[in-house]
Structure 1
Amino acid sequence: MSTPYEQWLAEQVQDRLAKLRAKRPAAYRVAGELHPDVAAWADRITAGEYGTLVMVGNTGVGKSWSIWAVAEKLVAAGYRGRIEVVPARQLQRYVTPPVDQPALDRLAAAGFLAIDDIGSVRIGDWDSDRMAALLDPRWEEHRPTVLTSNQLDLLALIGERTASRMSHRVTIVQMAGADRRRAA
C-alpha cells in the first residue's frame, strides 16, 4: 500500500511520461531495445551521476530513437529535470544570426539536453562559438548531455575547447547495424 505522497509522485511520473511521449516524433515511437551501454549511462544519470553520452554510427542504426528511449527511461525512473531534444538543423537555426538567445538559454538550462545528428550541419567558427556558449555552462553545472553523430571526431564538430569539456566523463557508444529505415 502506497502513501498519498507516493501516489502523487507516481501520477507525476505518468503525467511527465505522457507529455514526453506526445513530443516524441512518430518515426521514433516504435518498440525497441536500448543498447546496453546507453541503458547503463541512463542508469548512472538516474542515480545522480553526471556525464555526457555520445552515440555514433552509420545512418539508421537507432541513435535518434535511442535519445527518446533514454529520455523516457529517465522520466520513468523519476528524473525530474527538464528534457530538451533538439535536432542539429534546429540548433543551426538558433545559432545563425540573428542568434535566438532565449532558445539557447533554454537549452543550456535544461536538465537533460540531447542534440541529434550534430554532424549533419556545417559548423563554422561562428557556430562553434555559439555551441561553446550552449555546452560550456552544461559542463560547468554537470547537466547530462547527449550528442549523436555519424562522425566520432567531436573536435571537428564542436571545437577544441568545448570538445575537451564534453569529453570529461563521456561515454562513447559506437552503434552498428543495418539502416533500420531500409528494412521497414
Structure 2
Amino acid sequence: MSTPYEQWLAEQARERLARLQAARPAAYRAPGRLHPAIAAWADRIAAGEYGNLVIVGNLGVGKSWSLWAVAERVVGAGFRGRVQVTPAALLRRMLTPPMDRAGLDRMSAAGLLAIDDVGSVRISDWDSDGMAETLDPRYEGHRPTIITSNQLDLRSLVGERTASRLAHHVTIVQMAGADRRRAA
C-alpha cells in the first residue's frame, strides 16, 4: 500500500505527463516505435543519471517525433523536473535583440530542455553567445538537454563552447531512412 505522499507524487507525475501530451503537436502524435538507444537514454535520465542526447538524421526520419516521445517516456517514468520543448526557430527569435532574457532563463532552468531542429535557422555569433549563456548553467547543474538536427557537426551550428558542453555525457543517435512525410 502506498503512502499519501507516494500517491500525491504519482498524481503529480500523471498530471505532468498529461500536460506534456497535450502540448505535443498533432503532427507528432501518431504512434510509433522509439529507437532503442533513445529509449535507453530516457530510462537512464528517469533513473537520475545525467546526460545529453543528440538525435541526427535526414529530413523526415522521425527526429521531432522521437524528441516528444522520449520526453513523454522520461516524464512517464517519474522524472520530476519541468520539461521544455523549444523549436530552434523560436530559440532564434528569443536570442535576437532585444533578447528574451526571461524566456532564456526558463529554458536554462528547465529540468529537461529539448531544442528541436537546430540548424534549420541560421545562428549568428551573437546567437551562439546567447545560446552558450543559456546552456552553460544546464551543463553546470547537470540538467539534460536534447538536440535534434539534420547535421552532426554541432560546432558549426551552435559554436565551439556550446558544442563542447553538449558533448559532455552525450548519447548520439543517428537515424536513417526515407522522408516519412513524402511517403504519406
TM-score by length of 2: 0.97
Instruction: Work out the percentage of aligned pairs sharing the same amino acid.
Output: 73
**1:29 lines up with 2:29 in the alignment:** yes
- The one-letter code of the counterpart of 1:39 is A
For structure 2, list consecutive stretches of 5 or more residues without a partner in the other structure. none
Q: C-alpha separation between the residues in 2 aligned to 1:126 and 1:5? A: 46
Corresponding position of 2:90: 90
The corresponding residue for 1:110 is 110
CA distance in 1, matches of 2:14, 2:96: 37
What is the CA RMSD across the aligned residues, in angstroms?
Answer: 1.0
* CA-to-aligned-CA distance 1:30-73 (integer Å, 9 cap, x gap): 10111001011111111111111000000011110111111110
What is the rounded CA distance, in whole Å, between the counterparts of 2:129 and 2:19 in structure 1? 33
Partner of 2:17: 17
Could you tell me how far 1:5 is from its partner in structure 2?
3.2
| Secondary structure of the corresponding residue to residue 151 of structure 1 | coil
User: Number of residues paired by the alignment?
Assistant: 184
Report the TM-score when normalising by structure 1.
Answer: 0.97
Unaligned 5+ residue runs, structure 1? none
Output the amino acid matched with 2:161: R
SS, match of residue 30 in structure 1: coil
Q: Match of 1:53, SS? A: strand
Mapped partners of 1:167, 1:13: distance in 2? 29
Aligned ranges 1:89-168 → 2 under 5 Å: 89-168=89-168
For residues 6-85 of structure 1, what are the structure 2 equivalents within 5 Å?
A: 6-85=6-85
